[in-house]
Amino acid sequence: MLLKPLAERRSGRFSRERPAPHETRVRVPEAALTRDVGGREFVAFVVDVRYGSKWQEDAIVGCAYRASGNLFIERDNEYFPAALLLGKQVNAVAGVCRAAPARS
């Protein structure tokens, strides 16, 4: 959903943008679903990229919502819709991708 459009967008061009990674992998650190403050279930994910022989972990950090399928990515401790990576001008969304405090 995210990696394919990203790969299509990058094309190893004559530009100062970061070159396309030689390999990309997605990890899900915790398989269990988490609930945010609104009670919606999401799962966190990270994307690692490889340049040469070296893997750079956590190149993209984000979360995916189970019911809606919405993807968010983290930038400067804020979460934005993943469309940001595709160049869309979007604002940070408060309260997403953060686990609700545990009830005592």
Partner 1 sequence: MGTFTGQTDGTARDALSLHPRSARALPSIHEKTKSFEGVPRRRGVRKFFSHWVGRGFLILMLVGSALITAMSLPYFDFETLPPFVVEKLPLKFEALWLAALRVHVAAAALGFPLCLGLMTRALQKRPLWHRWIGRAAGVIVLFALVPSGFVLSSEAKGGRIVTVGFVLSGLIVGSAMVSGVRAARRRDLTSHARAMRHVIGQMSVAVVSRALIVGLDAAGIDPDLAYVVALWAPVLATVAVVEVISRRPMAWSRHRVELVERITRELSPLALVVRIRAFVRPLARFGR
> Where does this chain bind partner 1 (CB under 8 A)?
9-10, 12-19, 22, 51-54, 75-76, 78, 84-89
Are residues 86 and 77 in contact, defined by beta-carbon separation less than 8 angstroms?
A: no
| Residue among 59, 80, 55 at smallest CA distance from 3 | 59
Pairing of strands 71-75, 54-65: antiparallel
Q: Which is nearer to partner 1, 13 or 103 (CB)?
A: 13
Smallest gap from Cβ 16 to partner 1, in A, equals 6
Are residues 21 and 49 in contact, defined by beta-carbon separation less than 8 angstroms?
A: yes
Q: Which is nearer to partner 1, 43 or 61 (CB)?
A: 61
Smallest gap from Cβ 83 to partner 1, in A, equals 10
